[in-house]
């Protein structure tokens, strides 16, 4: 008995023991972290390995070959950075780079800069950014406007109205997106077509997703705004409720009109929470997958394939599935999301907003 | 069970508020009317109240219009779906199609998760097999294949969400408590990581989809509901741990100190002080976690075969290609799927608002 407690005592006094004891509370957090890592971090490592191979259904699920005895790789071969090069550059330029003919690539660039790059990828990349910029602006403005109206002094039944207003947040995303697909349906019964036909703006049904790329793009933006405004409203409402009433009264007594109160009192006090919400919602826009997936898989002609959808289509298209290529795109997306987040965190003082760190 | 009774009480209060709304409104009208007559309330104020309230209601109505439109389609039959504000010949046919024929089962079987059948209660033969909902009464066929399979999809979804909630709650509550009240090496870094992940969460799942699919394929987990439920639980960890942690931060530490002085062991402090005080936070987190399992579409449609489809995948299937979809069926299915969740949100709104107010102290 005494030897056991002696050993325990010595263990406690040793440096490892004391470190363990001081940090025993970490045991509360570890299960969650491990669970998350198992389903998110491991796949991330695996996706990196896959992106260096020519994996596809035909070779990945064959045989029992495991890298280091752990990572299932089937009969897929490592091909280095080939996937990435093919992703960023056009077929011709990628071939030149792989054969070491950098001079040829440079010449091609001088004669026709666009021909050097992979159109699908860069198109998808730029469309994604356009989508982020346009939809985030829309969401934030709409959210603030609705929040201001719904907290107005003279509006009765605010609580119930707000309950109605935030409902889009409670309905499943797939429901909302399918409803909006019906709204923008190319059929005659699509709500938008019915409306425009009745007003007389158009005389035959518009095929919203397939006629014109920017028309389709604008349906994405409208849908995304509808999906995400409740979140902005929630954040803004709770920020507006924390605006110092004394300041507002003082401003009013001093004769400040609505717009100067807005500019000098309200906006400065809600700036930080709204900034926080904006960052969150920008990330959501950047990762939008379902809207283009449901609205015709990035139609017309795949021109509106946002980045994640582009990766998905490369990876899961029946016989032409290319896991390696899809993995490379996914990792590129992850990289950009990571960079974007990093900048946003540095700029937005996100950590302080969360109250800690 | 103070959490459950608290929720029941507040839902009851909300319902009472809605039911009594006309009465209160009438009282207010009378007050305003008399005030106006006696000149105590300036007419300008009354006009402003009317204008802003009507404006707000109009905006709310406009925002919800697509959902209302779905509703009008769902209750109108006959294959012509020109918009009518109130459909002239409302019918329940589409909703009956969603539910399908319901009969009294011959045996009531209670299944436990993983272990399978627990109890089997035989039902008297006199009522066994009787119709609870007989589509024949509405002139619709009795063949089960004609109907949507909504209930089978809902069972799959419930099974998935059950595991999502169990797994996620089991790790999130201790995690949030540890983050909020204890200190250890790397705590701040981990919190920072979680905050970052709250924003990358959903997209991350899709970005690693390829790896996830091949891993599930290798482990033989494709078309299995349990691993899917656990996966959703894992994905819900960062955001909800952080949310619950910020909520727990708002609970004054003096309550715990009082309990310590009274000699309560730490598990009792958590059980009797922290959990009751963070019920709003727990309710919010519960809703978010449950919805993660109940509403995900992308992963489920890739992993599951038709016999195991969850509700979102079933719904997507009925949306079909726009040219050949049955609008009435689709709308009814969609509403049957989404309406319960809308109601939960409507009543949980005050909890969600206070849970999302980042450290605000309420309840």
pLDDT for A243-264, tens place per residue? 888 888 888 888 888 888 888 8
Mean pLDDT within B314-341 = 83
**Is residue A130 pLDDT above 90, yes or no?**
yes
Q: Which chain B residues touch A162 with a CB distance below 8 Å?
A: 349, 353
Q: How large a percentage of chain A has pLDDT more than 70?
A: 89
Q: Which residue has 């009465």 as its token pair?
A: B23
Query: Which SS3 state, helix, strand or coil, does residue B109 take?
Result: strand
pLDDT for A68-97, tens place per residue? 666 777 778 888 888 898 888 888 888 888
**A25: nearest CB among B178, B203, B234:** B178
**Is residue A156 pLDDT above 70, yes or no?**
yes
A161 close contact with B: CB closer than 8 A: yes
User: Residue A188: its pLDDT value, please?
Assistant: 79
User: Residue B363: its pLDDT value, please?
Assistant: 25
Q: Which residue has 């997958």 as its token pair?
A: A289
Euclidean distance between CA atoms B264 and B257, whole angstroms: 10
Cα–Cα distances in Å, from A332 out to A47, A113, A232, A307? 11, 22, 28, 9
User: Residue B350: its pLDDT value, please?
Assistant: 67
Mean pLDDT within A123-136 = 94
Closest residue on chain B to A47 (Cα): B211
Split at pLDDT 50, 70, 90, the class of B351 is: low
Euclidean distance between CA atoms B87 and A36, whole angstroms: 49
Query: Which SS3 state, helix, strand or coil, does residue B173 take?
Result: helix
- Is B201 in contact with B273 (CB distance < 8 Å)? no
**Is residue A355 pLDDT above 50, yes or no?**
no
Q: Residue A10: which residues within 8 A CB-CB, separation 6 or more?
A: none
pLDDT for B68-123, tens place per residue? 998 988 888 766 667 777 777 788 888 888 888 888 877 777 777 677 777 788 87
**B207: nearest CB among A32, A183, A308:** A308
Q: Does B184 sit within 8 Å of A26, measured CB to CB?
A: yes
Mean pLDDT within B44-49 = 83
**Is residue B307 pLDDT above 80, yes or no?**
yes
Q: Which chain B residues touch A276 with a CB distance below 8 Å?
A: 358
Per-residue three-class SS string for chain A: CHHHHHHHHHHHHCHHHHHHHHCCCHHHHHHHHHHHHHHHHHHHHHHHHHHCECCCHHHHCCCCCEECCCEECCCCCECCCHHHHHHHECHHHHHHHHCCCHHHHHHHHHHCHHHHECHHHHHHHHHHHHHHHHHHHHHHHHHHHHHHHHCCCCCCCHHHHHHHHCHHHHCCHHHHHHHHHHHCCCCCCCHHHHHHHHHCCCCCCCCCCCCCHHHHHHHHHHHHHHHHHHHHHHHHHHHHHCCCHHHHHHHHHCCCCHHHHHHHHHHHHHHHHHHHHHHHHHHHHHCCCHHHHHCCCCCCCCCCCCHHHHHHHHHCCHHHCCHHHHHHHHHHHHHHHHHHHHHHHHHHCHHHHCCCC
Q: Which chain A residues touch B180 with a CB distance below 8 Å?
A: none
User: Residue B322: its pLDDT value, please?
Assistant: 55
pLDDT for A139-153, tens place per residue? 999 999 998 888 877
Q: Which chain B residues touch A355 with a CB distance below 8 Å?
A: 246, 249, 358-359
Q: What is the mean pLDDT of chain A?
A: 83
Phi and psi, residue A78, nearest 5°: -75, 130
- Tell me the sheet residues that pair with B117: B111
pLDDT for B157-215, tens place per residue? 999 999 999 999 999 999 999 988 888 888 888 887 787 776 666 677 888 888 888 88
Split at pLDDT 50, 70, 90, the class of B231 is: very high
Euclidean distance between CA atoms A321 and A331, whole angstroms: 17
- If one compares B60 and B102, the residue with the highest pLDDT of the two is B60
Residue B8: Cβ-neighbour burial (10 angstroms; 0-12, 13-18, 19+): exposed
Q: Does B81 sit within 8 Å of A72, measured CB to CB?
A: no
Euclidean distance between CA atoms B66 and B63, whole angstroms: 7
Cα–Cα distances in Å, from B270 out to B236, B242, B251? 22, 17, 12
Q: Does B346 sit within 8 Å of A164, measured CB to CB?
A: yes
Q: How large a percentage of chain B has pLDDT more than 70?
A: 90
Helix (H) or strand (E) holding B348: helix B327-355
Q: How large a percentage of chain B has pLDDT more than 90?
A: 17
**Is residue B147 pLDDT above 70, yes or no?**
yes
Mean pLDDT within A268-280 = 80
User: Residue B358: its pLDDT value, please?
Assistant: 46
User: Residue A223: its pLDDT value, please?
Assistant: 95
A243 close contact with B: CB closer than 8 A: no
- Tell me the sheet residues that pair with B122: B107
**Is residue A165 pLDDT above 90, yes or no?**
no
Q: Which residue has 């919602």 as its token pair?
A: A281
**Is residue A38 pLDDT above 80, yes or no?**
yes
Report the gap between the CA of B102 and the closest CA in chain A (Å).
Answer: 25
Euclidean distance between CA atoms A79 and A318, whole angstroms: 22
Which letter does DSSP use for residue B113 in this model? T
- Tell me the sheet residues that pair with B112: B116
**Is residue A356 pLDDT above 50, yes or no?**
no
- If one compares B135 and B348, the residue with the highest pLDDT of the two is B135
User: Residue B79: its pLDDT value, please?
Assistant: 63
Q: Residue A123: which residues within 8 A CB-CB, separation 6 or more?
A: A303, A305
**Which two tokens mark B203?**
């997209």
Q: Residue B167: which residues within 8 A CB-CB, separation 6 or more?
A: A35, B229, B230, B233, B234
Which letter does DSSP use for residue B72 in this model? H
**A150: nearest CB among B56, B171, B183:** B56
- If one compares B163 and A344, the residue with the highest pLDDT of the two is B163
Q: Which residue has 């045991």 as its token pair?
A: A27
What is B194-240 written as a DSSP string? HHHHHHHHHHHHHHTHHHHHHHHHHHT-TT-HHHHHHHHHHHHHHHH
**Is residue B295 pLDDT above 80, yes or no?**
yes
Beta pairing, strands B116-122 & B131-133: unpaired
Residue A48: Cβ within 10 Å count: 15
Verify cis geometry, omega within 30 degrees of 0, for the bond prior to A300: yes
**Is residue B268 pLDDT above 50, yes or no?**
yes
Euclidean distance between CA atoms B196 and A36, whole angstroms: 14
Euclidean distance between CA atoms A26 and A21, whole angstroms: 10
């Amino acid at each position: 008995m005494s030897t056991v407690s002696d050993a325990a005592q010595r263990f406690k006094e040793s440096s490892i023991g004391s470190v363990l004891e001081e940090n025993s509370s970490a045991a509360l957090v570890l299960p969650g972290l491990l669970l998350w890592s198992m389903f998110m971090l491991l796949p991330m490592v695996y996706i990196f390995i896959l992106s260096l191979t020519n994996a596809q259904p035909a070779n990945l699920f064959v045989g029992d070959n495991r890298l280091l005895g752990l990572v299932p790789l089937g009969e897929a071969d490592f091909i280095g950075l080939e996937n990435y090069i093919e992703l960023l550059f056009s077929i011709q330029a990628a071939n030149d780079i792989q054969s070491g003919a950098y001079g040829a690539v440079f010449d091609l660039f001088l004669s026709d800069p666009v021909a050097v790059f992979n159109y699908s990828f860069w198109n998808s990349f730029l469309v994604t950014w356009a989508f982020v910029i346009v939809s985030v602006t829309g969401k934030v403005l709409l959210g603030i406007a609705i929040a201001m109206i719904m907290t107005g002094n003279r509006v009765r039944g605010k609580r119930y109205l707000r309950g109605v207003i935030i409902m889009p947040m409670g309905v499943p995303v797939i429901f909302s997106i399918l409803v909006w697909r019906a709204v923008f349906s190319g059929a005659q019964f699509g709500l938008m077509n019915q409306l425009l036909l009745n007003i007389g703006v158009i005389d035959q049904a518009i095929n919203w997703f397939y006629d014109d790329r920017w028309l389709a793009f604008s349906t994405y933006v409208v849908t995304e705004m509808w999906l995400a405004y409740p979140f902005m409203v929630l954040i803004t409402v709770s920020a507006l409720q924390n605006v110092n009433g004394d300041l507002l009264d003082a401003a009013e007594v001093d004769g400040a009109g609505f717009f100067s109160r807005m500019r000098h009192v309200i906006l400065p006090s809600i700036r930080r929470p709204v900034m926080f919400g904006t960052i969150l919602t920008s990330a959501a826009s950047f990762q939008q997958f379902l809207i283009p997936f449901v609205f015709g898989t990035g139609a017309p002609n795949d021109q509106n394939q946002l980045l994640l959808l582009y990766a998905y289509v490369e990876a899961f298209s029946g016989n032409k599935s290319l896991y390696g290529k899809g993995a490379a795109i996914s990792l590129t997306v992850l990289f950009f999301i990571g960079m974007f987040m990093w900048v946003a965190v540095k700029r937005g003082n996100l950590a302080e907003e969360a109250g800690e760190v | 069970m103070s959490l459950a009774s608290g929720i029941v009480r507040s839902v009851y209060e909300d319902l009472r508020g809605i039911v009594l709304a006309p009465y209160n409104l009438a009282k207010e009208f009378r007050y305003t009317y008399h005030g106006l007559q006696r000149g105590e309330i300036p007419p300008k104020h009354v006009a402003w109240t009317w204008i802003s309230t009507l404006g707000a209601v109009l905006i709310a109505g406009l925002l919800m219009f697509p959902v209302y439109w779905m509703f009008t389609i769902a209750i109108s039959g006959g294959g012509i779906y020109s918009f009518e504000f109130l459909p002239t010949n409302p019918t329940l046919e589409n909703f009956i199609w969603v539910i399908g024929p319901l009969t009294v089962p011959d045996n009531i079987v209670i299944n436990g998760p993983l272990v399978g059948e627990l109890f089997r209660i035989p039902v008297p033969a006199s009522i066994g097999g009787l119709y609870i909902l007989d589509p024949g009464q509405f002139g619709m066929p009795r063949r089960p294949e004609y109907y949507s399979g909504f209930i089978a999809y809902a069972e799959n979804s419930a099974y998935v969400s059950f595991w999502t909630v169990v797994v996620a709650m089991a790790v999130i509550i201790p995690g949030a408590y540890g983050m909020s009240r204890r200190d250890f090496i790397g705590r701040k870094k981990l919190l920072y990581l979680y905050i970052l992940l709250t924003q990358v969460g959903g997209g991350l799942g899709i970005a690693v989809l390829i790896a996830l699919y091949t891993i599930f394929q290798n482990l033989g987990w494709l078309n299995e509901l349990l691993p899917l439920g656990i996966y959703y639980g894992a994905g819900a960890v960062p955001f909800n741990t952080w949310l619950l942690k910020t909520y727990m931060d708002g609970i004054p530490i003096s309550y715990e100190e009082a309990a310590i002085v009274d000699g309560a062991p730490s598990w009792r402090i958590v059980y009797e002080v922290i959990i009751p005080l963070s019920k709003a936070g727990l309710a919010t987190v519960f809703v978010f976690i449950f919805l993660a399992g109940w509403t995900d579409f992308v992963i489920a449609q890739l992993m599951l075969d038709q016999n195991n489809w969850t509700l979102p995948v079933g719904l997507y299937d009925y949306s079909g290609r726009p040219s050949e979809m049955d609008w009435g069926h689709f709308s009814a299915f969609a509403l049957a799927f989404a309406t319960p969740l809308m109601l939960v949100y409507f009543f949980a709104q005050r909890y969600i608002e206070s849970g999302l107010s980042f450290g605000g102290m309420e309840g």
